[in-house]
Amino acid sequence: MMNRRGFLASSAAGLTIPASQLSAASKKVEPRVNLKKNVVLVSLDLGLYAPNFQENGANCKYMTEIFSEFKGQMTYFDGLSEKGMSGSHECQPATFTTIPYEDREHYPQKKMISLDQILADGSIQETRHKFLYHRINRGSAMSWNKFEQPLPAIEGANELYETLFSRTDTKLEKARIRRERDILSTLARNLRRYWRGNIQEEDMKASLDYQLAVLDEREKWLKVSKPYLKKAFGERDERQPIPSCDNNFQLVYDALEKKQTKIALVEFGAGGLNAGLSGVELGHHGNTHHGGYAERIYALETIDTGVLTGVKNFLHKLKEGGLYDDTIVLFHSGFADASKHTNKKAPAFLFGGGFNHKESIACLNGKEHIYSTSDLFTSILKQSGFNNKTFSNSKQAIPELFKV
């Protein structure tokens, strides 16, 4: 099968494309779907302390101590990972793409795009924000568009509030859009002036068109007033990411409830994650290389408990607001065990969304994959309304998640 880059390369070079490959190269763009569910993806850059979610399967420490009340309303995935995904810190930004950026050239037939962006690009929405990519504190790039480009995050609770619910200076925002449009238009003119028709130019043209369409969408929504909410937290609260993370999740909940978005990716980064946590002196990265030292393991458990409790409190908000069954929530990290730099047996907890939840789904049989991370993402796409779409390496949705 000819991939997009190969098709463009052949076209630019004036080569004849074999008839067997032409249909793949000229494949119709799939029609967009109406999203049936909200989707919230949550990640912790460096993952969880492995023994506390890997040992004893669905009876592991974090399931029994933090999420026990959601039994029957969530699914634990035992031994989840992605076939062929390498270890090292490349796993972090690949959490929702399943293909590390550094390895993408090894998979020319696949597009390195994150799950949130497939949902956003492939859906019809009547919300101000097609998606929210919110980073609670400094971290890796988690959201990647169809051009394999990392997207900027809304960083911290203050910026998220300003984006969603503060009063907008329309004149200032229009001026920003004009300036950004001028920059993009200048780039487009220069591209046309020196056009040679190579792959890089084709990609740049498509990327510029995409960015101009984003500006058009922003400009359109300036005509519609944002819902105003009074800020309920202090300006400095975000300096302690975990103790204040309920503020972030409350804003995400409000965005769903007030129909400002249907898709959110919420990321706990590694930078300054320990701030405000008693007894956690070392940063998250330093603690992941724990070497068996009790104080470092304590620090990891403290961080994990804070993050997962934030997720649990968010789930309570969804239940209280009647949004639990209408919202798919996935906690997942590309890092399964940061101390070993591996993706094998990564954490994955799936909540709500109207799935046919099981206490546990086995994803490994010895060393053989039963289900991969891509299969889980395909299942989320299916439940969201994408009936004929698969994610990356996947060939199937996970049947146990769906009623016969």
Query: Are residues 319 and 390 located together in one domain of the fold?
Result: yes
DSSP label of 142: -
DSSP code at position 150: B
Tell whether 118 and 192 lie within a shared domain.
no
Mark whether 250 and 202 lie in a shared domain.
no
Residues with Cβ within 8 Å of residue 274, at least 6 apart in sequence: 280, 281, 282, 283, 284, 287, 299, 303
- Co-location of 212 and 238 in the same domain: no
Residues 186 and 258 in one domain: no
User: What is the number of other CB atoms lying within 10 angstroms of the CB of residue 160?
Assistant: 24
Same domain? 262 vs 359: yes
Same structural domain, 190 and 234: no
* 3-state helix vs strand vs coil in the chain, percent to 5: 40, 15, 45
For tokens 């890796």, name the residue: 140
4 and 45 within one domain: no
Q: What domain range includes position 24?
A: 1-30
Kindly give, in sequence order, each residue whose CB lies less than 8 Å from that of residue 277, ignoring residues fewer than 6 positions away.
Answer: 240, 242, 243, 299, 302, 303, 306
pLDDT digits (tens, 9 = 90+) for 277-325: 999 988 888 788 887 889 999 999 999 999 999 999 999 999 999 999 9
Residues in a beta bridge with 361: 77
In this structure, are 353 and 325 located in the same domain? yes
Please count the structural domains in the chain: 3
pLDDT, tens digit, 9 for 90 and up, residues 70-99: 999 999 999 999 987 877 778 888 999 998
Residue 13 is predicted with a pLDDT of 38
Lowest mean pLDDT among 216-220, 257-261, 282-286, 316-320: 282-286
Of 53-57, 69-73, 335-339, 390-394, the poorest mean pLDDT is in: 335-339
Q: Are residues 180 and 156 in the same domain?
A: no
Burial class of residue 272, CB neighbours in 10 A (0-12, 13-18, 19+): middle
Do 339 and 360 lie in one domain? The reply is yes
Quickly list H helices, 93-244.
Answer: 115-121, 156-164, 170-193, 199-221
Amino acid at 306: G
Instruction: Say which CATH number the domain at 144 has.
Output: 3.40.720.10
268 backbone dihedrals φ, ψ, rounded to 5°: -95, 110
Residues 255, 364 within the same domain: yes
Residue 8 has pLDDT above 50, yes or no: no
Give residue 30's pLDDT band: very low, low, confident or very high (50, 70, 90): confident
Residue 265 has pLDDT above 80, yes or no: yes
pTM above 0.95, yes or no: no
